[in-house]
A and B are shown apart, each in its own frame.
Chain A
Amino acid sequence: MSETLERRLATHPRYAALQAEVAEFLFHEVELIDDRRYDEWLALLAEDLVYFMPQRMNVKFGEHAARENTRAGTGISWFEEDKWTLGKRVAQIQTGVHYAEEPLSRVCHMLSNVRITAAVPSLDDPAEVTVSSRFLVYQNRVEYENYTFIGKRHDVLRRHGDSWLVARREILLDQTVLLAKNLSIFF
């Protein structure tokens, strides 16, 4: 996404309304997660969803574009999932014996810097939008466990009636060694 193109998008007469609509959708989506309404959350995910959280690495200056993040489609990442596995993760929590989330953690998602960086075919009538945002996710577990996950998200949302479906989510957690015992929550 070139800077010029982003500026052209942002000054488009439809941008502000669409940005507000998309942000509202994303806020609703994380509220479902925080409220543990997991089945309703799953319903917002497209059947062909790609849910991807790469690992990050310390690499030499100049190698960041090529090597800083693990890549989807090859090797190992934190998550490279489809809707089936996310459904399994929900089902696992719902067994009541998934001890990493039993008792359930308290999770609070904060999303900000929501920006539309692409719209296909156009901002006037978008079938898909690419949205970048920042997240701060707080997890409090049992009594004394606290984890803070901060990073960037790149989502592709697909128009679905008067709402959206999440078609792709890339989660860039700003850590190399994971500073948490588990990633047992949704992003």
Chain B
Amino acid sequence: MSSSAFRPADYIDNERGLISREIFVNPELHRQELDKLFTRAWLFVGHESQVPLAGDFFQSRMGDESVILCRDKAMQLHVFLNSCRHRGMKVCRYDSGNTSLFTCPYHSWAYGLDGKLLGVPQFRELYQHTLDKDANSLITVGRMHNYKGAVFATWDPGAPDFETWLGGAKEHLDLVLDCRDGRPGGSEVIGVHKWIFPSNWKFAAENFLGDTYHNISHRSVDLIGIGPSARAGVTGRRDNEMDKAKHIWAGFPAGHGVHSAILPEDNEYIPSFMNDPEVEEYFRHCFYERKRRMGEKSRLIPFTGNLFPNISFHGRQPRNLCNWHPHSPTETEGWRFFLVDADAPAVVKDFLRRYYMRYSGPAGMTEQDDMENWLYATAASRGAIARRHPFNYQQSLGKWDVTAEGGHNSWQVSEQNPRNYYRVWAEFLNGSPWDVLVGGDPSYRQQAAQ
């Protein structure tokens, strides 16, 4: 398949709810994702709390490429491609640290914290003063945005503003990044898991888009109880905060999708974090403080979500942001950034980190089962016969409300979020302009016009 021959309809049939297995295994489609999607989409790079001081850096990734998130002496954040302009060697090979220069090990070109090329050995003799240092600065991202401490970037200078891209998913992302008592922002990253698994990256993203249907695959942890109140006899892997809530699966024009929950009008605190009375007291306080501060809006609480293309989150129990970095069509590097309120008491932070570790990531009792599913779903999609048969995405087809924004709300477990996600995916691979990429489903506009 040549790139010019790419026709989205060959892979994504949202009317019938059929999506080709090719998009999870095909090397050419993967190459096009790297060329056309990861070079344009807003991507999550890291959190400001990982680089609090001047000179701090964190080596991150965008797509399959290494980037540096750093803070310069004027406390400005930057994101650069981690590659020397001369012969491409990584100029930073530490996972994190503090420096005043990024010096390439190969020929010793040295760059400042603002990316400027400062040092070129034998500059006078070998380059006769003609080398344009400004033009040979580290390659910088097209746009960068620090949203409540979470740093996002895109290689495309023509990309829309971060918040335009985010659209209505903003109020759901806020639920992840805001303090538990409702104060805006204030989160910090307390650690990052990094691991490689043999699966297409989109299986991971889809999991968080609101695939609540896969809940059954976590039956083992639900049976034994690993939640924040497990020692107090509560089964399951989380507390029962959403027991009386109305669940919502919301999709947004730019391809984001979330599963959140709306508490009843006369909601009261549901005891949680009961393993430790001090922690329980803290979350009880946060619940009422948030309610006081946010009023009606406090009824919305987060579960999971995925910001297009590869930024997933768990909003509450546990609480983290994830990146699914593509390595190959069938290999993904997962990064999970664990979040707490920066000013939470030490006992709360300690409780949360232990809960996160037993729940999340490759050592987490819940998510091990996810990795097993993603691996074997990918592997079983490779076969010539298998690839003739698209995946079934017909769940709750047509069962959604169109929103004013051009997204959708579904009030039952639904695959409308992935259908919407792959619609945007196809537009990226189609090379569509940004107004289409963030414009929502054209059929919704038709519906609205009728």
Q: Please report the C-alpha to C-alpha distance between residue A92 and residue B226 in the assembled complex, in whole angstroms.
A: 10
Contact call B195/A181, Cβ cutoff below 8 A? yes
Write the nearest CB–CB distance from A60 to chain B, whole angstroms. Answer: 5
B195 to A88, Cβ gap below 8 A?
A: no
| In the complex, A97 has a CB within 8 A of chain B | yes
Contact among A97, A176, A178 with B220 in the assembled complex (CB-CB below 8 Å): A97
Q: Name the one of A58, A88, A100 contacting B372, with C-beta atoms under 8 angstroms.
A: A100
Asked if B246 is at the interface (CB within 8 A of a chain A CB), the reply is no
Give A41-98 interface residues, CB cut-off 8 Å to B: 53, 55, 57-60, 63, 67, 70, 73-81, 84-85, 88-89, 91-92, 95, 97-98
A177 touches B220 (CB 8 A): no
B194 and A176 contacting across the interface, CB-CB below 8 Å: yes
Residues of B near A17 (CB, < 8 A) are none
Q: Which single residue of chain A is at the shortest CB-CB distance from B198?
A: A181
A interface, by DSSP: helix, strand, loop or mixed?
Answer: loop
B221 interface hit (Cβ, 8 Å):
yes
Are B191 and A180 in contact, CB atoms less than 8 angstroms apart? Answer: no
Q: How large is the interface on B (under 10, 10 to 19, 20 to 34, 35 or more residues)?
A: 35 or more
- The reply on B425 being an interface residue by CB < 8 A is no
Mark interface residues in B129-147 (1 if CB within 8 Å of A CB, else 0): 0000000000000000000
Let me know if A181 and B197 touch, CB within 8 A. yes
Tell me if A58 and B93 are in contact (CB < 8 A): yes
**Nearest-neighbor residue (CB-CB) of B320 within chain A:** A76
Within 8 Å CB of A76, what residues of B? 190-193, 338, 353, 356-357
Residues of A within 8 A of B257 (CB): none
Assess whether B365 is in contact with A89, with CB atoms less than 8 Å apart. yes
When distances are taken between beta carbons in the complex, the residues of chain B under 8 Å from A59 are: 94-97
Q: What is the 8 Å Cβ interface bit string for chain B, positions 69-96, against chain A (1 contact, 0 not)? A: 0000000000000000000000001111
Closest to A100 in B: B368
Neighbouring B residues of A57 by C-beta, 8 Å: 94-96
Interface residues of B in 367-387 (CB under 8 A from A): 368-369, 371-373, 375
With CB as the reference atom, state the residue of chain B lying closest to A68.
B95
- Interchain CB contact (< 8 A) of B217 among A58, A80, A91, A99: A99
A180 CA / B375 CA spacing, docked (Å): 11
User: Is B354 positioned at the interface, with any CB of A under 8 Å from its CB?
Assistant: yes
- The listed residue with most A CB atoms (<10 A of its CB), out of B190, B230, B350, B357, is B357
Specify which of B333, B362, B372 is in contact with A180 (CB 8 Å cutoff).
B362
B333 contacts across to A, CB distance below 8 A: 177
Contact B369 A100 (CB under 8 A): yes
Select from chain A the residue with minimum beta-carbon distance to B216: A97
User: Contact at A70–B224, with CB atoms within 8 Å?
Assistant: no
Q: Which residues on the A side are within 8 Å of B31 (C-beta)?
A: none
Interface residues as binary, A91-114 with B (CB distance below 8 Å gives 1, 0 otherwise): 110010111110000000000000
Does any Cβ of B come within 8 Å of A122's Cβ? no
Q: Tell me, yes or no, whether B347 is within 8 Å of chain A by CB.
A: no
A92–B196 CB distance below 8 A = no
Assess whether B5 is interfacial by the CB under 8 Å rule.
no
Closest beta carbon of chain B to A154's beta carbon, Å: 19
Across the interface, do B94 and A184 meet the contact criterion of CB distance under 8 Å? no
B404 is an interface residue with CB less than 8 A from chain A: no
A30 to B84, CA, bound (A): 47
- On whether the beta carbons of A55 and B97 are closer than 8 Å, the reply is no
The 8 A CB mask of B326-355 against A (1 = contact, 0 = none) is 000000010000100000000000100110
When the two chains form their complex, are residues B224 and A55 in contact, meaning their CB atoms are under 8 A apart? no
User: Smallest distance from the beta carbon of B364 to chain A beta carbons, Å?
Assistant: 9
Query: Which A-chain residue is minimally distant from B191 (CB atoms)?
Result: A76
**A178 with B362: in contact, given A58-B93, A58-B94, A91-B224 (CB under 8 Å)?**
yes
Contacts of B354 in A (CB 8 A): 80, 85
**A95-B219 in contact (CB<8A):** yes
Among B398-439, those with CB < 8 Å from A are none
Contact status B371-A98, CB under 8 Å: no
Whether, in the assembled complex, A2 has its beta carbon less than 8 Å from a beta carbon of chain B, the answer is no
Distance, CA A179 to CA B310, complexed state (A): 20
Q: In the complex, what residues of B have CB within 8 A of residue A58's CB?
A: 93-95
A182 contacts the other chain (CB 8 A): yes
A88 touching B362 by the CB < 8 A rule? no
B363 within 8 A of A: yes
Asked if A183 lies at the interface with its beta carbon under 8 angstroms from chain B, I say: yes
Q: How far is B96's CA from A84's CA once the two chains are assembled, in angstroms?
A: 33
Min CB–CB distance B380 → chain A (angstroms): 12
Q: Give Cα distance in the complex from A89 to B363, angstroms.
A: 10
Q: B188 → chain A, closest Cβ, in Å?
A: 10
Given A177-B194, A180-B362, A182-B371, decide whether A92 and B217 contact each other with a Cβ distance below 8 A: no
Residues of A with C-beta under 8 A to B449: none
A92 and B224 contact, CB distance less than 8 A: yes
In the bound complex, how far is the Cα of B357 from the Cα of A67, in angstroms? 20
Q: Which residue of A lies closest to B93 (CB)?
A: A58
Q: Nearest Cβ in chain B — how far from A26, in angstroms?
A: 22
CB contacts (< 8 Å) of B193 on chain A: these are 55, 76, 78, 178
* Chain A interfacial positions (CB closer than 8 Å to B): 53, 55, 57-60, 63, 67, 70, 73-81, 84-85, 88-89, 91-92, 95, 97-101, 145, 176-184
Nearest 6 Cβ contacts at the A-B interface: A76-B191, A100-B368, A178-B195, A181-B197, A98-B220, A183-B363
Known interface pairs A99-B372, A178-B195, A182-B197; 6 further A-B residue pairs with C-beta atoms within 8 A, sorted by A's residue number: A73-B350, A75-B353, A80-B353, A85-B354, A92-B365, A182-B362
Can you pick out 13 interface pairs between chain A and chain B where the beta carbons lie within 8 Å of each other?
A57-B94, A77-B191, A79-B363, A80-B353, A84-B231, A85-B354, A88-B358, A92-B221, A97-B219, A100-B368, A145-B375, A181-B372, A182-B368
